[in-house]
Amino acid sequence: MTTSQTNPLGPGYEGVAGSEMRFRDIFRDTLRAEMNRDDDVFLMGEDISGGFDKDTKEPLDAWGGPFAATKGLVQEFGVERIRDAPISEAGFVGAAVGSALTGMRPVVDLMYFDFVTVAFDQLLSNAAKSRYMFGGQTKVPLTLFARSGAGTGHAAQHSESFYSMLAHIPGLKVVVPSDPYSVKGLLAAAIRDDDPVFLVNDKKLINLTGFVPDEDYVIELGKGRYMRRGADVTLVGMSYTSVVCQKAAEQLAEIGIDAEVIDMMSLSPFDEDILIESVAKTNNVVIVDEDTPRASMASEFAAVIADKAFDHLDAPVKRVTSPHSPVPYNSALEQEFMPQPADVVGTVKNLLGRE
Amino acid sequence: MDISKEKLEWIYTTMYRIRRFEETMLEQTLKGNSMGVAHTSDGQEAPPTGICAHLTDKDWIGSTHRGHGHCISKGLETDKMMAEVFGKATGQCGGKGGSMHISDFSKGMLGANGIVGASIPLAVGAALTAKLKGIENESVGVSFFGDGASSQGVLHEAMNLASVWKLPVIFACENNGYAEATPSWYAVSAEDIASRAEGYGMPGVVVDGMDVFAVYDAAGEAIARARAGEGPTFIEMKTYRYHGHFHADDTSKYRKPEEEEYYKNLDAIKHFERTVLKQKLMTEKKLKSIRDDIEKEMLHAVEFALSSPMPDISTLYDDVYVNYSNPIAGLR
């Protein structure tokens, strides 16, 4: 997506040194860079190195983390800072909160996003509330990440996208990168942030490639970005649906509809201004979210647009979401479950009264 | 007895301070001067006192809804504690936490917690910090919890973690016989909760939780092990709460008077007094002067809490985050 109309890296990035990288590789490089940058950063999770030699007790790095996200890091940083955990999400997320309260900056790999619920009390009651209920005495510089999303045959309990549940919690922050550029900037920002931040990676992004600047940078939490400029309709994406929106925009362009694509990047806090600014220009908006529709981010963005940009709207705010159902296993059902570019195109055509 | 005179005085002062704080706080709560729910720990003075006698401000404790005794044992000021229970701006948490969330990070008090068992892994995390920073010898984590929390899954996860990572943790189980109104003989599958420690590869000891000397000795051994890098210990202290689960709870509906009487005869403070007087370690005069000082301190704490200002309404929005770019004031 680097046409003359679009510059995902934003103004000021023309001619910047960098390279095409896979999402998974820049994710690991960013973890490494942050661990080198700050000795208080350490990583915990299940099989983040994976396997130990029974005789020498040395780590085997057999897995290198779910989806090999942390491969090689244990050789660089050792087993203290690349800390394989038993399957005890509540226990080790709680321990991470305790460690954050006492001066460290833990990073927790929760593997599949669905596993959030197993540790939910620690996130809600301890990570999110400690600063407030203790009257500002403390802070919780904790980062968590996990893989979300359908489309990979992982079925109902390994495919959730309910990031709206986390965004609902005062005290937590939630970010959703959508490409290699954004995961580098958001992961670095999350680890350096003094509040608990959950970074949700859609599995469908992990092997995608994209341009990543070499330089050290962070993306400000709470800022969205324009992936494509257009005049007729605003498509709002988050996580993988930002990719869906870009594909839809390309198809719309072929039939003469000029779509603008916003990638929210942060869900809590989130960028109200970019939503209002874009809708003020295009007067039409479609929000695309792989989360289920009830009390979702799509609903929240729709409410903000209805509240603050009502006079700019030519038509009702539209949402394209997954159905109110668990994620199915069968691939045909699963494809139907997920918002597809064709769904977005169809919704836009209806919205604009185009056949 | 291998306890210094200063330490004995500290133990008596701490136990009596807990007793009188709870009684005073309960009285004030029933008068309507507190702002909400409060859980008292009088009767249970020995466990936190005997354990915290070995700790410094660099050691961390995690606490429970019944946490005032833990706070006092860790050195928190009763003025600020009472003010917090009263919901005042001068309270330990500025009136944001109340009785169930008193904390003082400068004193190594990680905060009391209203979710039963939720603070257990926090103490494990504090111990993990100590291990990562190589300061286990001066910073252990103590997790206080009751017989009720012994049925929470997170305790078992935390015990396994502390054991496999060999962390400097003390699992301090205050078994007062009741989880709310449910007796432990009904809800706990083992005769001794400490017997479960064996399954997690750590020593488990049962001590008389009405005897501060027994607690002190067991804790001393466990904390020395932790400081030496030898890993966690589970200590079960059989104790008793004199009042109900919370301030308005009527224990006569589920406890027999004979049972309450039995434990009051074992009273931890009286046991201490008898022991030190018999062994001529402290004088009655000294004991009385400590009690008199505490009485004055309690009067002061109530006066301080009553006369303190309410928090400014604008503080409602403070400290949800360190920084956050969206408004949090809600929609009106």
Concatenate the DSSP letters of all residues of B203-266 into one string.
Answer: -EEEEETT-HHHHHHHHHHHHHHHHTT---EEEEEE---SS-SSTT--GGGTS-HHHHHHHHHT
Contacts of A96 in chain B (CB under 8 A): 125
Does the distance separating the beta carbons of B125 and A101 come in below 8 Å?
Answer: yes
Does residue A174 sit at the B interface (CB-CB below 8 Å)? Answer: no
**pLDDT greater than 50 at residue A345:** yes
Does the distance separating the beta carbons of B141 and A121 come in below 8 Å?
Answer: no
What is the amino acid identity at position A303? A
Q: State whether residue B178 is helix, strand or coil.
A: strand
Contacts of A81 in chain B (CB under 8 A): 132
What is the amino acid identity at position B2? D
Q: Distance (Å) from the C-alpha of residue A3 to the closest C-alpha of chain B?
A: 31
Annotated domain spans of chain A? 18-213, 225-351
Contacts of B296 (CB under 8 A, 6+ apart): none
Does residue B87 sit at the A interface (CB-CB below 8 Å)? Answer: no
The residues pairing with B208 across neighbouring beta strands, listed in sequence order, are B238
Contacts of B95 in chain A (CB under 8 A): 135
Among B161, B321, B322, B332, pick the best mutation site for testing chain A contact (most A Cβ within 10 A).
Answer: B321
- Beta-strand pair A209-213/A18-22: antiparallel
Does the distance separating the beta carbons of B101 and A137 come in below 8 Å?
Answer: no
Does the distance separating the beta carbons of A130 and B326 come in below 8 Å?
Answer: no
| Closest-approach residue (CA) in chain B for A95 | B125
Does the distance separating the beta carbons of A173 and B126 come in below 8 Å?
Answer: no
From the list B126, B324, B325, which residue is nearest A98 (CB)?
A: B126
Give the B window 192-231 contacts with A, CB below 8 Å: none
How many beta carbons lie within 10 A of that of residue A233, not counting itself?
29
Contacts of B323 (CB under 8 A, 6+ apart): A194, A195
Encoded tokens for A304: 């903000």
**pLDDT greater than 50 at residue A1:** no
| Closest-approach residue (CA) in chain B for A120 | B118
Give the A window 99-118 contacts with B, CB below 8 Å: 99-104, 106
Its ipTM equals 0.96
Whether A168 is catalytic is: no
DSSP per position, B54-110: T--TTSEEE--SS-HHHHHHTT--HHHHHHHHTT-TTSTTTTSS-GGG--BGGGTB-
CA–CA dist B242, B144 (Å, integer)? 18
Looking at every residue in chain A, the average pLDDT score rounds to 95
Q: Distance (Å) from the C-alpha of residue B286 to the closest C-alpha of chain A?
A: 36
Q: Distance (Å) from the C-alpha of residue B200 to the closest C-alpha of chain A?
A: 13
Those residues of chain B that have pLDDT short of 50 are none
Does the distance separating the beta carbons of A99 and B161 come in below 8 Å?
Answer: no
pLDDT tens digits, A102-138: 999 999 999 999 999 999 999 999 999 999 999 999 9
Give the sign of the dihedral formed by CA B303, CA B304, CA B309, CA B312: negative
Contacts of B324 in chain A (CB under 8 A): 173, 195, 222, 269
Q: Measure Cα distances from B106 to A127, B77, B136 in Å.
A: 19, 12, 18
What is the fold of B5-310?
Answer: Rossmann fold (3.40.50)
Does residue B119 sit at the A interface (CB-CB below 8 Å)? Answer: yes
Tell me the residue length of chain B.
332
pLDDT at A4: 34
Going by C-alpha positions, the residue among A289, A231, A237, A286 that lies closest to residue A260 is A231
pLDDT at A9: 59
**pLDDT greater than 70 at residue A10:** no
Q: Do the beta carbons of residue A62 and residue A51 sit within 8 Å? A: yes
Contacts of B261 (CB under 8 A, 6+ apart): none
Contacts of A269 in chain B (CB under 8 A): 324-326
Does residue B14 sit at the A interface (CB-CB below 8 Å)? Answer: no
CA–CA dist A94, A127 (Å, integer)? 8
What is the fold of A225-351?
Answer: Rossmann fold (3.40.50)
| H or E element that contains A61 | none
pLDDT at A8: 54
Radius of gyration of chain A (CA): 20
Among B103, B129, B169, pick the best mutation site for testing chain A contact (most A Cβ within 10 A).
Answer: B129
Q: Measure Cα distances from B331 to A268, A275, A306, B208 in Å.
A: 16, 18, 14, 54
- Beta-strand pair B178-179/B182-183: antiparallel
Q: Distance (Å) from the C-alpha of residue B281 to the closest C-alpha of chain A?
A: 38
Share of chain A above pLDDT 90, in %: 94
CA–CA dist A249, A244 (Å, integer)? 9
- Of A18-22, A232-236, B125-129, the poorest mean pLDDT is in A18-22
- Of A9-23, A184-198, A330-344, B3-17, the poorest mean pLDDT is in A9-23
Contacts of B115 in chain A (CB under 8 A): 121, 125
CA–CA dist B38, B47 (Å, integer)? 20
Q: Do the beta carbons of residue A305 and residue A279 sit within 8 Å? A: yes
From the list A86, A98, A220, which residue is nearest B124 (CB)?
A: A98
- Of A91-95, A345-349, B112-116, B191-195, the poorest mean pLDDT is in B112-116
Q: Do the beta carbons of residue A154 and residue A124 sit within 8 Å? A: no
CA–CA dist B281, B35 (Å, integer)? 42
pLDDT tens digits, A133-170: 999 999 999 999 999 999 999 999 999 999 999 999 99
Does the distance separating the beta carbons of A91 and B126 come in below 8 Å?
Answer: no
Contacts of A141 (CB under 8 A, 6+ apart): A100, A105, A193, A194, A195, A196
Locate tokens 């997170």: which residue?
Answer: B154
Q: Distance (Å) from the C-alpha of residue B63 to the closest C-alpha of chain A?
A: 12
Give the A window 122-141 contacts with B, CB below 8 Å: 122, 125-126, 130-139
The burial class, CB within 10 Å (0-12 / 13-18 / 19+), for B203 is middle
Q: Distance (Å) from the C-alpha of residue A84 to the closest C-alpha of chain B?
A: 10
> Of A158, A168, A312, A324, which is the active-site residue?
A158
From the list B120, B126, B322, which residue is nearest A102 (CB)?
A: B126
Does the distance separating the beta carbons of A133 and B111 come in below 8 Å?
Answer: yes
Contacts of B119 in chain A (CB under 8 A): 126
Fold agreement between A18-213 and A225-351: yes
Contacts of A169 (CB under 8 A, 6+ apart): A123, A124, A128
Radius of gyration of chain B (CA): 20
Among A126, A131, A265, A307, pick the best mutation site for testing chain B contact (most B Cβ within 10 A).
Answer: A126
Does the distance separating the beta carbons of A269 and B94 come in below 8 Å?
Answer: no
Q: Distance (Å) from the C-alpha of residue B60 to the closest C-alpha of chain A?
A: 9
pLDDT at A59: 95
pLDDT at A15: 76
Does the distance separating the beta carbons of B105 and A134 come in below 8 Å?
Answer: yes
From the list B122, B322, B328, which residue is nearest A195 (CB)?
A: B322
pLDDT band at A12 (very low <50, low <70, confident <90, very high): low
How many beta carbons lie within 10 A of that of residue A206, not counting itself?
20
Tell me the residue length of chain A.
355
Does the distance separating the beta carbons of A90 and B154 come in below 8 Å?
Answer: yes
Of 3.40.80.10, 3.40.440.10, 3.40.50.970, 1.10.3720.10, the CATH number of A18-213 is 3.40.50.970
Q: Do the beta carbons of residue B110 and residue A101 sit within 8 Å? A: yes
